[in-house]
Amino acid sequence: MPERVDIFTDGACRGNPGPGGWAALLRYGDAETTIHGAVMQTTNNRMELQAALSALQKLKRPCSVRITTDSEYLMKGILEWMPNWKLKGWKTSSRKPVKNQDLWQQLDRQVEMHDVTWNWVKGHAGHVENERVDRLANEAIDKLLQ
């Protein structure tokens, strides 16, 4: 049975587009690690994707993963929209290129390596881990702007 890893992710942006940050908390048993980063000019959606992608890239072998996010864009993209995008050559239903295609494709490759389940939580609603990664994403922006 693959190891179980819980991942909590969030992205933040000051202006949209504008300076953005992302963060993830990875928990395996009693062990935890956090990762984060920031970009000077980006969008909130890109930061949400980057958080999940970066967390999965940290895993060294196939795992059973539960990702918790407050991003409906990430959840709907991975669970509802992506299958059709792939069938249509990464085009939307209106035949336009998928936005953030580079990150979606990388995320798709990472998800294929693991047994991933997705969990959505309401943002800024007191979920301890979600509040923690939100804080880290915003601190990453603060550091970038210093």
Catalytic: 124? yes
Q: With contact defined as beta carbons under 8 Å apart, do 35 and 26 qualify?
A: yes
Single out the catalytic residue among 37, 48, 114, 129: 48
Catalytic residue selected from 10, 36, 37, 114: 10
Q: Is residue 48 flagged as an active site residue?
A: yes
Task: Return d(Cα 24, Cα 60) in angstroms, integer.
Answer: 16
**Contacts (Cβ under 8 Å, ≥6 apart) of 36:** 21, 22, 23, 24, 136, 137, 139, 140
Of the candidates 21, 77, 114, 134, the residue annotated as catalytic is: 134
Q: Which of 80, 112, 124, 126 is catalytic?
A: 124
Active-site residue among 20, 21, 37, 70? Answer: 70
Annotated catalytic residue: which of 11, 20, 21, 37?
11
Backbone angles phi, psi at 6, to 5 degrees: -100, 130
Query: Is 102 noted as a catalytic residue in this protein?
Result: no
The catalytic site residues sit at 10-11, 48, 70, 124, 134
